[in-house]
Amino acid sequence: MKKNTNRNPVLRWIANISFTIICLIALFPILSLLLSSFRPSSELMRNGISLVFDPSTLNLDNYTYIFTQAEQYWGWYGNSLVITAVTIVLSLFFSSMVGYALAVYDFRGRNFFFLLVLFILMVPFEILMLPLYQLMISLQLINTYTAVVLPMVVAPIAVFFFRQYAIGLPKELMDAARIDGSTEYGIFFKIMLPLMAPSLAAMAILQGLGAWNNFLWPLLVLRSNDMFTLPIGLATLLTPYGNNYDVLIAGSVMTIIPVIILFIFFQRFFVAGLTVGGVKG
């Protein structure tokens, strides 16, 4: 026992140092991008993004340009915010209902539908893009925000996650609510959904990150420059005829802000939602 007690602090220090090094490695690209956003675009074109630069060249010109002249950038920013917000709300609403139904109700074909969710979950989205694109053409939704959001409304990963979480919900509350005369929708929205708050918060972060960083699918269905999302808009700044680093670098830093706000808002539920949802079932 004494030997194990003496080894625990050493192992703990090794683990802390190891995780600290991993965190620094992960933060290195973000730190490089942040410092580069204060450098002149001419220097960026000569030396690229790095931590080696002349401190005397640091200034706020890039951010001044974004807030005073880059109107198109804020249009892209607003498009991404709207699409992300709508995707989070609709995905949480419909995916939680589907996952909850697969977990608590015993109906014919339940296992088949769950296996179908698992099958779609294992198929890469790149394989599904062509039939989805043809479907958007048939529905005449090309170059609309509906085409961007619609395929993400019922996400297989969210359905699976909510199903695993709902399995652990106390079924006695449902029986008591039925005795009191509550409808099935009332049971879900008034009783069960509040109990699923940690899972909702966890999936809000994951679905929000996916919608905010989504590049390939919006690139396929959007045509107008004023309807582009932020990842597509920033990508258009890199052309064979010139690179607008004034907007590209500083604008990329600004894209991190909504992600940080989203995580701060839901962080106290995030770990609990992932942990409980991952071990149930």
Q: What is the pLDDT of residue 281?
A: 43
Residues 244, 237: contact at Cβ < 8 Å?
Answer: yes
* Rounded CA separation 137/131 (Å): 10
* Rounded CA separation 37/63 (Å): 8
Q: What is the pLDDT of residue 242?
A: 60
Sign of CA dihedral 267, 271, 274, 280: negative
Task: Read off the pTM.
Answer: 0.83
Q: What is the pLDDT of residue 241?
A: 62
Topology of the domain covering 70-279: MetI-like fold (1.10.3720)
* Rounded CA separation 248/265 (Å): 27
The DSSP string of 261-275 is HHHHHHHHHHHHHHH
What are 242's strand-pairing partners? Answer: 239
Q: What is the pLDDT of residue 184?
A: 86
Low-confidence ranges of the chain (pLDDT < 50): 1-3, 5, 277-281
Report which residue type is found at 245: Y
Q: What is the pLDDT of residue 5?
A: 47
Domain ranges of the chain: 1-68, 70-279
Residues 167, 101: contact at Cβ < 8 Å?
Answer: no
pLDDT digits (tens, 9 = 90+) for 240-268: 666 677 778 888 888 888 888 888 877 77
Using CB atoms within 10 A of its CB, is residue 246 exposed (0-12), middle (13-18) or buried (19+)? Answer: buried
Which secondary-structure segment (H or E) carries 239? strand 238-239
* Rounded CA separation 35/52 (Å): 10
Q: What is the pLDDT of residue 271?
A: 62
Q: What is the pLDDT of residue 9?
A: 81
Q: What is the pLDDT of residue 78?
A: 93
* Rounded CA separation 83/144 (Å): 11
